[in-house]
Structure 1
Amino acid sequence: MIATAPAAPAAPEATRPDGTVTLSGVTKSFGEFTAVRDLDLEVASGEFLSMLGPSGSGKTTVLRMIAGFEDVTGGSIRLSGVDVTRTPPHARPVNTVFQDYALFPHLTIADNVGYGLRVRGEGKAARAARVQTSLEQVRLDHVADRLPHQLSGGQRQRIALARALILRPQVLLLDEPLGALDKQLREQMQIELKQIQREVGITFIFVTHDQEEALTLSDRVAVFNGGRIEQIGTARDVYERPQTEFVARFLGLSNLIGGDLAERLTGDRRTMSVRPERMRLIDREGTLAAGEVALDGTISEIVYTGPATRYLVATDVGIDLIAERPNTRHGADDDLARGHHVRAAWSPGHAARLP
């Protein structure tokens, strides 16, 4: 489904505002339940920002407030420097792409893409030229005369994207648009979506609960929890340097080691977050590298994931650790097995310290 803005004609390219999005102290309550709490967020012009979090974390509510589909209980929203907090959806310079692309089944692809322009009263010749350009942007100009049922799911999603982009919004909002696709097609569309965003150069705000998707697509990721942003930063920042235990646990797998044990190992009581791929397994008699620390344990479970093999280590001090090895040796048998006594070693420099 695409939300269009028929009452707001596109500004000429040379005079269009910059596409920044600013939320200041935004709060949204539904009766006694507060879905979003005093949220501040600044999105740069042309940025691809993903809002990531579990169901009920507030990310979709924030997207709907930016679009104007939900009223703001408190705070303000500015688009390209203009306060739109009380502006109706059709008058905001944004378009929204939803998971349900809702193409008109009786219209050709070209007519679907050009529908918003027709509603705005744009002439047939000008409309046809812009439809052609928009279809070329999503690499589907060859299907202009087909009907929606003749396209694959991925193609229909790209047509929904073209229908939103043709209206030249300053900001494009995407609410889990790839959620209905199978894994292989979803991964392909992630790459294509990022390429399209770079080509058109407008601000994308993307909602997802898929951690890998957020890391793949985004210039920055905002991790939501309980109506607040727990952490915002580049994909590398939030993954390699989580600032809270929630971020460390939600964004991939993490080994958390803190308190007396952390102090005994490193002299620092703060909790360490160590990613499984940073954890090295060696024999009990193996030699540690300079600066490494280790816990002895026994492999209790092994999980083959395709690109990597994951090991659950029950340590002698009573905590479980997860280590991961890439499967780089084609056809080779694993030299580790359940019941194998090992040392789980890591460098404190590869651990993020949580406040």
Structure 2
Amino acid sequence: MPGTDTTAETTAPDAPSHETAGVELRGVTKRFGDTVAVRELDLTVAPGEFFSMLGPSGSGKTTVLRMIAGFEDVTSGSILLDGQDVTAAAPFDRTVNTVFQDYALFPHMTIAENVAYGLKVRKTAKDEIARRVGESLEQVRLSHVADRLPHQLSGGQRQRIALARALILRPRVLLLDEPLGALDKQLREQMQIELKQIQREVGITFVFVTHDQEEALTLSDRIAVFNEGRVEQVGTPREVYEYPQTAFVASFLGVSNLIPAELARELAGADGAISVRPERVRLAAVDSTRAPDETSVVGTITETVYTGPATRYIVTTEFGLTIIAERHNDHAPNDTAPYRRGDTVRVYWHREHAALVP
């Protein structure tokens, strides 16, 4: 918030080191009265990592971020930063800074003055302030707007200035609470790429909160998927998408076809429930030939959804199970789609493309 200095100045690490965790939570629980917002959470974030906490509203991810920042007390458990226990430390005694969805820039100050504010509070020398403001604005590629006022900038530019204001204090960990949520889709996608590039350049730990699955997949080195105050799975974007460890992860992270254990056993000889992504499913004529490593089932297309790059087909199978297939629109724009609502088709997927859901 403007006027609130929440970061102790430190020297940024020269390069990420995984010998000591950048952020570590040990058995952290947070209660609000009778409501348990976070349950006995163990979580480790490596130095220099872009780590995202993904989940629906009320899953506990923002509460965890606020506890790391020191804005919320921990009911039980401990929080460590660079191996130091900071559970009881005040926000300004922690080597972190926070970027919020609300840019919170001072409207009467120039961009350079906004970025310099934290250093002025600390009575940093003027020549040092000027040098570091220049470096910070260069990092976010906005040196040319230093003399403008916040209202003269676009939403994306204001968010980058908020990022520069946080980075100028050289935190060891930067906490980002849905910072791109107020931007439109096109600008948000552009900012995702820029944010990742900035993180790589500065080399510090980013802990990012979002409910946007695509955003988490785009930005993260690793993702923790939250649900009802617990972490259901932690892994790289590829791991959590391709190999979901719970039905919640499979359904929340993108679109997935969840096939119950009994039917999966009958169709594919699987040892339990399986998840098959729509882009891994293909449709063909009912009398088409199945490859040796494929599973197939007959169904009727009950709906088609055109999304631009692809078309989704909703198929109700002979077992009463609904399967979603996605086909990339690689045909000419004026060509007729190969399948229509009401067509009877055979649904195929390769067995290796089915992930077992424990």
Partner residue, 1:215: 217
Q: Given the superposition, is the C-alpha separation of residues 265 and 6 from structure 1 closer, same or farther in structure 2, using an over 3 Å criterion?
A: closer
Amino acid at match of 1:186: R
Q: Given the superposition, is the C-alpha separation of residues 12 and 162 from structure 1 closer, same or farther in structure 2, using an over 3 Å criterion?
A: closer
Question: For the residues of structure 1 that align with 2:3 and 2:316, how far apart are their CA atoms?
Answer: 52
Structure 1 position 296, deviation (Å): 0.2
Structure 1 position 299, deviation (Å): 0.6
Larger mean CA deviation between 210-219 and 255-264 belongs to 255-264
Structure 1 position 313, deviation (Å): 0.3
Question: For the residues of structure 2 that align with 1:8 and 1:146, how far apart are their CA atoms?
Answer: 28
Question: For the residues of structure 2 that align with 1:15 and 1:150, how far apart are their CA atoms?
Answer: 36
Structure 1 position 30, deviation (Å): 0.6
Partner residue, 1:191: 193
Contact 1:4 1:164 in 2 (8 A): no
Structure 1 position 8, deviation (Å): 2.7
Partner residue, 2:346: 343
Contact 1:2 1:164 in 2 (8 A): no
Partner residue, 2:102: 100
Partner residue, 1:82: 84
Partner residue, 2:230: 228
Question: Are 2:3 and 1:10 aligned?
Answer: no
Amino acid at match of 2:194: E
Contact 1:5 1:92 in 2 (8 A): no
Structure 1 position 65, deviation (Å): 0.2
Q: Given the superposition, is the C-alpha separation of residues 2 and 250 from structure 1 closer, same or farther in structure 2, using an over 3 Å criterion?
A: farther
Contact 1:309 1:324 in 2 (8 A): yes
Contact 2:7 2:93 in 1 (8 A): yes
Partner residue, 1:333: 336
Of residues 38, 55, 58, the one that matches 2:57 is: 55
**4+ residue runs over 6 A deviation:** 14-19
Question: Are 2:252 and 1:250 aligned?
Answer: yes
Structure 1 position 317, deviation (Å): 1.1
Amino acid at match of 2:233: Q
Q: Given the superposition, is the C-alpha separation of residues 2 and 21 from structure 1 closer, same or farther in structure 2, using an over 3 Å criterion?
A: farther
Consecutive unaligned residues of structure 2, counting only runs of 5 or more, are none
Structure 1 position 2, deviation (Å): 6.6
Contact 2:50 2:207 in 1 (8 A): yes
Contact 2:36 2:229 in 1 (8 A): yes
Structure 1 position 337, deviation (Å): 0.6
Contact 1:258 1:269 in 2 (8 A): no
Structure 1 position 14, deviation (Å): 6.6
Structure 1 position 343, deviation (Å): 0.6
Deviations 1:87-133 (A, max 9, x none): 00011000000000110000000000010000010111110110000
Question: Are 2:239 and 1:237 aligned?
Answer: yes
Of residues 141, 145, 148, the one that matches 2:147 is: 145
Question: For the residues of structure 2 that align with 1:324 and 1:34, how far apart are their CA atoms?
Answer: 39
Question: For the residues of structure 2 that align with 1:201 and 1:146, how far apart are their CA atoms?
Answer: 28
Q: Given the superposition, is the C-alpha separation of residues 267 and 135 from structure 1 closer, same or farther in structure 2, using an over 3 Å criterion?
A: same
Question: For the residues of structure 1 that align with 2:30 and 2:21, how far apart are their CA atoms?
Answer: 23
Structure 1 position 195, deviation (Å): 0.3
Larger mean CA deviation between 231-240 and 250-259 belongs to 250-259
Deviations 1:320-347 (A, max 9, x none): 1100011122313211111111011101
Contact 2:9 2:171 in 1 (8 A): no
**What is the Cα-based RMSD across aligned positions, in Å?**
1.7
Question: For the residues of structure 1 that align with 2:94 and 2:79, how far apart are their CA atoms?
Answer: 11
Consecutive unaligned residues of structure 1, counting only runs of 5 or more, are none
TM-score in terms of structure 2 length: 0.96
State the SS of the aligned residue for 2:58: coil
Contact 1:134 1:162 in 2 (8 A): yes
For these two proteins, the number of residue pairs brought into alignment is 355
TM-score in terms of structure 1 length: 0.97
Identity %: 67
State the SS of the aligned residue for 1:114: helix
Partner residue, 2:296: 294
Contact 1:134 1:165 in 2 (8 A): yes
